Chains A and B, each alone.
Chain A
Amino acid sequence: EDQVTQSPEALRLQEGESSSLNCSYTVSGLRGLFWYRQDPGKGPEFLFTLYSAGEEKEKERLKATLTKKESFLHITAPKPEDSATYLCAVQGLLGGSEKLVFGKGTKLTVNP
């Protein structure tokens, strides 16, 4: 069964203090690993898809990387508006499944 574990559960940073969020996964063949941002009471907002180990993607202050067992979301010089829960999800290749399997997320708080 595909599984996703995210750490830490919560992270509090000062504005400008860079850090990384971790997503460990087990999947029977990886079709894609997805990062989403979720604000309170809202739906997940798509950020990145990574398909193979070694791949990296960037968007503003965010950079996502992928290995065969985990993905990191690096946040460089965060601002208070980056405060949100960041969700990691995987989609496996087994049986042509389309479902996303999510982790519990990392709640990021950036203090001014």
Chain B
Amino acid sequence: EPEVTQTPSHQVTQMGQEVILRCVPISNHLYFYWYRQILGQKVEFLVSFYNNEISEKSEIFDDQFSVERPDGSNFTLKIRSTKLEDSAMYFCASIPQGAAYEQYFGPGTRLTVT
């Protein structure tokens, strides 16, 4: 069964640096999402993306964050100037074309900001 993949699995960066997290959704999926999970806390919605546009974003998703699908396959989340509080697991999710509402999650990228 095809899976959502994410790279890197672990990223360590210094405060103020830019990071790009990458996701390869399952090939026929059309709806894409980013979530994050701070250690010991709930999984939180960041943004949804459909037809090359942001369809919804949360309060967390401020001007420091951006998403794009540069080549029709990879789906990226960029954090422009990282803060200590950005340290978290970041999950990409997607929904297959024609499916109901089940979001399938990738394995996550653990971001550590020092």
**Contacts known (A32-B100, A49-B101); A99 close to B48, Cβ less than 8 A:** yes
We find that the number of chain B residues with CB closer than 8 angstroms to chain A is 25
Do B44 and A102 have beta carbons less than 8 Å apart? yes
Cα separation A54 to B102 with both chains bound (whole Å): 19
For the complex formed, measure the closest distance between the CB of B92 and the CB atoms of chain A, giving whole angstroms: 8
Query: Which one, B45, B55, B103, contacts A46 given CB within 8 A?
Result: B103
Query: Looking across the interface, which residue of chain A has its beta carbon closest to that of B6?
Result: A43
Residues of chain A with a CB closer than 8 A to B4's CB: 43
Residues of chain B with a CB closer than 8 A to A63's CB: none
Cα separation A74 to B56 with both chains bound (whole Å): 33
Does chain A have a CB within 8 A of B20?
no
Do A49 and B58 have beta carbons less than 8 Å apart? no
We find that the number of chain A residues with CB closer than 8 angstroms to chain B is 23
Cα separation A91 to B106 with both chains bound (whole Å): 19
Does chain B have a CB within 8 A of A25?
no
Residues of chain A with a CB closer than 8 A to B89's CB: 41
Does chain A have a CB within 8 A of B65?
no
Residues of chain A with a CB closer than 8 A to B48's CB: 98-99
Does chain B have a CB within 8 A of A73?
no
Cα separation A34 to B55 with both chains bound (whole Å): 21
Does chain A have a CB within 8 A of B105?
yes
Do A99 and B105 have beta carbons less than 8 Å apart? no
Do B102 and A43 have beta carbons less than 8 Å apart? no
Query: Looking across the interface, which residue of chain B has its beta carbon closest to that of A47?
Result: B102
Does chain B have a CB within 8 A of A101?
yes
Residues of chain B with a CB closer than 8 A to A91's CB: 101
Interface residues of A in 45-98 (CB under 8 A from B): 45-46, 49, 87, 89, 91, 97-98
Does chain A have a CB within 8 A of B91?
yes
Residues of chain A with a CB closer than 8 A to B103's CB: 34, 46, 100
Do B105 and A49 have beta carbons less than 8 Å apart? no
Residue with the greatest number of chain A CB neighbours at <10 A, chosen from B58, B89, B104, B105: B105
* Further pairs besides A32-B101, A36-B105, A46-B103: 6, Cβ < 8 Å: A46-B102, A46-B104, A98-B33, A100-B43, A103-B42, A104-B41
